[in-house]
Structure 1
């Protein structure tokens, strides 16, 4: 592996701060969050703005937001990622059937990234967005994706790491998480009850590529006021059907690879 270039790393650190902000940042905020010298931050912001990765906010002097170049790169990435486009289409079809919020997510280390989302048609719905990251162990999609990993890879991702809680119902014990993953493998779906959001329950099913490898998960999220054991069984069947449909679009035609 080649040597990392410090200047490039710092520039990317600056850009990634905007993923966690409300959309704009000032130079002092970047300085404080990254613990970099003010001169270095000024040079980084000036360079990124000159290349259109950042732009200044006209009505807020001294503040920056992401520029058109980041949109162009993201659009090109999305064009090449069939999973996101196909996932959005299937999620829409599932949501039209059940009237609930449907997500498609992938796994990145110990977090899930939502790459597609279709909102519920009900007045009470969950607040989420495509592109958002959440701890995998707190979500149904994350449990399912972790459960699909080879044992050695799973160990490498969870052993010795703290399992942070998002709600009072989140799993924070490694043994309890492993039990949940075993249950997900046996059942073929994963469930979470109020673990990432105290007002939401969720069921997820695996999405496979042409080789049979689990590459994503499709979930249906429901406010607890509309959740019951009967509803869980119904939504589990719908999630499996949607995940199978998406798997077929990716070239999977049965079997577990």
Structure 2
């Protein structure tokens, strides 16, 4: 019994590694490439889907891809990273003054892991630790998506466009991401509500972009151009401190 369980685990890891290497594949292709019985492959795929390590493409139901969770198994933010991040954000909260958020991409949205809301001199909108933020209508999401690897970007596209993305949408998305990449940071201004603005930078660990760091402010007090000019350098220093702390746990 123990041997069978270990063999099943080994096969599951093998399928996951294969999908991670090829990018996407059908069950039939996996069975052929790995020389496994197709019923065995389907059982393995069902378990991996349940664990949110892979998913079926909404536009191609027979095609499986790995999720961003697979990247985070090797390069993502672990519990030690969260503790280090909380300490860094607390240390710099009196320097930045406005609330900072550290978020990761998860299940089609940005999940805030750590936040200085409640401990900063100033307050601004958006959310607290544990809250989810939309990808395209947040600087946190735009900063992450612009620099994310192909796996995370494809997962986002598949999650939001169950059918194939139109050429117009694809061009618009690529243009928006190109602006963020060229500037190195993302800005989001909530035009439905006059106050909140957000500035964000991507965060890298082990050479992989795994999170983003955001700084929110009240646009009724400081305009966007002035805020970016004043705070971008400070936010970049906090990012550097976070990334240097993450190196300790690689």
Q: TM-score range by the shorter chain?
A: 0.5 to 0.7
Partner Cα distance (1:196, 1:151) in 2: 32
Q: Which residue of structure 1 aligns with residue 242 of structure 2?
A: 246
CA-to-aligned-CA distance 1:94-143 (integer Å, 9 cap, x gap)? 32102101110111142000000002312x43352101111111111111
Contact 1:101 1:125 in 2 (8 A): yes
SS in 2 for 1:235: helix
Q: Which residue of structure 1 aligns with residue 105 of structure 2?
A: 107
Give 2:215's match in structure 1, choosing from 216, 220, 232.
220
**Count of aligned residue pairs for this structure pair:** 171
Matches within 5 A, 1:184-195: 184-194=180-190
Q: Which residue of structure 1 aligns with residue 18 of structure 2?
A: none
Contact 2:81 2:246 in 1 (8 A): yes
Partner Cα distance (2:83, 2:242) in 1: 10
Q: Which residue of structure 1 aligns with residue 89 of structure 2?
A: 91
Q: Verify: 1:134 aligned to 2:133, yes or no.
A: yes
Q: CA deviation at 1:83?
A: 2.4
SS in 2 for 1:137: coil
Contact 1:140 1:191 in 2 (8 A): yes
Q: Which residue of structure 2 aligns with residue 75 of structure 1?
A: none
Q: CA deviation at 1:233?
A: 1.8
| Greater relative CO (CA pairs within 8 A, separation 6+) | 2
RMSD across aligned positions (CA): 3.2
Structure 1 residues 152 and 125: CA distance shift in structure 2, 3 A:
closer
SS in 2 for 1:121: coil
Structure 1 residues 160 and 94: CA distance shift in structure 2, 3 A:
same
Q: Which runs of 5+ in 2 are unaligned?
A: 1-43, 52-77, 162-168
Q: Which runs of 5+ in 1 are unaligned?
A: 10-79, 163-172, 253-257
Larger helix fraction of residues: 2
Q: Which residue of structure 1 aligns with residue 121 of structure 2?
A: 121
Structure 1 residues 195 and 155: CA distance shift in structure 2, 3 A:
farther
CA-to-aligned-CA distance 1:43-95 (integer Å, 9 cap, x gap)? xxxxxxxxxxxxxxxxxxxxxxxxxxxxxxxxxxxxx5122212212222332
